[in-house]
Amino acid sequence: MKRRIVEIDEAKCNGCGACANACHEGAIAMVNGKAHLMRDDYCDGFGDCLPHCPTGAITFVEREAVPYNEAAVQAAKQHKAAHACPGSAPRTFGGCPGSMAKALHPDAETAAATPETAPSQLRQWPVQIKLVPTNAPYFDGARLLIAADCTAYAYAAFHQKFIRGHITLVGCPKLDDVDYSEKLTRIIRDNDIKEVTVVRMEVPCCGGLENAAKRALQASGKFLPWQVVTISTDGRILD
């Protein structure tokens, strides 16, 4: 039968193991440092693994596959539980556990609190452009903030002014020494992004981030509202 099932691009997989941890059915396992779909009949097609992949290595495809076998999945879980060593630690894999994607839910009711008590307005993790997945549920209908690393340190009210109500991506083209435009293009093109705000420092090297965002918007083929905000090194908004 033809059905929806995950596909893993081994070339993009960084071996973090986040997808294997997120797969409740045990369909994905790490083999020689790479994620593999071990059994088609263990994959239910719901894609719990997809938003946890920081490199965009996991996608859905429609192909011939055996039906999902819930009975086999439950039997495998029972077998694993019966043979687990008492007190054994959860399985871990190579890579940074902190790169696992997740949505956060800031408390809107306390958003107007004093600086000492104001909660974080961050709505997702991770935030680094290099680590964030290209597809995740939190991108659906998102107002996207693309910010240079230093801006949150320079501008005191950064959470309230910029992060609040946005999905946040941060990076530094000088330190990362990469072109962000390809990944930003995939994020904008493949998700329901509503608008884009770029926040950069006044220093010249931040121009790389602004240019990457502009190229991504053009390459995405979408016409979205967008703006660039520049922060001075003494913490003022310049434009």
Using the predicted structure, report yes or no on whether residue 197 has a pLDDT greater than 90. yes
Q: Burial-class residue 173 by CB neighbours within 10 Å (0-12, 13-18, 19+).
A: buried
| 225 and 140, same domain (yes or no) | yes
Please state the rounded mean pLDDT for residues 182-206: 94
Report pTM.
Answer: 0.60
CA dihedral sign of residues 90, 95, 101, 107? positive
Pairing of strands 34-37, 124-125: unpaired
| 170 and 214, same domain (yes or no) | yes
Q: Cα(11)–Cα(6) distance, rounded to whole angstroms?
A: 15
Q: Burial-class residue 192 by CB neighbours within 10 Å (0-12, 13-18, 19+).
A: exposed
Domain boundary among 30, 55, 83: 83
| 62 and 129, same domain (yes or no) | no
Residue 72 lies in a domain: yes
pLDDT in tens, 110-152: 445 555 567 899 999 889 998 888 888 889 999 999 999 999 9
CATH number (domain holding residue 132): 3.40.50
Residue 88 lies in a domain: no
Q: Which residue has the higher pLDDT, 17 or 158?
A: 158
Q: How many domains is the chain built from?
A: 2
Residue 89 lies in a domain: no
Alpha helices in 23-87 (DSSP H): 70-83
Token pair for residue 15?
A: 């071996």
* pLDDT at position 106: 64
Domain that holds residue 73: 2-83
Domain boundary among 35, 53, 83: 83
| 132 and 188, same domain (yes or no) | yes
DSSP 216: H
| 63 and 108, same domain (yes or no) | no
| 128 and 158, same domain (yes or no) | yes
User: What is the percent of the chain where pLDDT is above 70?
Assistant: 86
Domain boundary among 30, 53, 83: 83
Residue 35 lies in a domain: yes
Q: Which residues, 6+ apart, have CB-to-CB distance to 44 below 8 Å?
A: 25, 27, 68, 70, 73
